[in-house]
Amino acid sequence: MDTNTQKEREELIELFGIHFESVYNLPPLCSRILGLLIVEACKSGLTFEQIVEKVGASKSSVSTNLNFLLKLGKIDYYTLHGDRKKYFRPSPFSERFANYLKILEFEKKIIDKMISYREKTMDSSEERINLEHAKAYKSHVIKVEELLQETITEFIEIEKVNKS
């Protein structure tokens, strides 16, 4: 890999790291590991040792952060017959987006409870406005959910084609 490509790779990993830190509130090392896996591990995955070497952190820190990413469903791993190593890679897009659907499902439940509560208790114009906001927000969440489901279906098709 030439120097320019190496620099571009490092910059891309750093940009992903900054993004995951700021948008998803992931710890810095966690964010860098996820960025590394997205940039470098989409073909065959990276071993624990490779990740430790590439991020330059202690084994215990890398282990803790990998376990956290596994728990969040942001990454997964596979093993090869006869090889005791785990190969880490980002979770398929379809799985990562399915996690967003779970978040939206929970949000819809909260919104429904808020609407029900507000319909029973409203006695001011401010509360009526709050009810209308809640209804508009629910409509928005439903549209996002539909779009997300379409995207997940598209990713599943891409992933099926790429597995064969």
86 in the same domain as 97? no
Spell out the per-residue pLDDT of the chain, length 164, in tens. Answer: 788 999 999 999 999 999 999 998 999 999 999 999 999 977 789 999 999 999 999 999 999 999 999 999 899 999 988 988 999 999 988 888 888 899 899 999 999 999 999 999 999 999 999 999 999 999 999 999 999 999 999 999 988 887 75
Domain that holds residue 111: 93-163
CATH of the domain at 19: 1.10.10.10
Q: Among residues 162, 11, 6, 4, which one has the least CA distance to residue 89?
A: 162
* Cα 145 to Cα 24: distance, rounded to the nearest angstrom: 19
104 in the same domain as 54? no
- The pTM score is 0.77
Which class for 62: exposed (0-12), middle (13-18), buried (19 or more C-beta within 10 A)?
A: buried
Is 97:147 a contact under the CB 8 Å cutoff? Answer: no
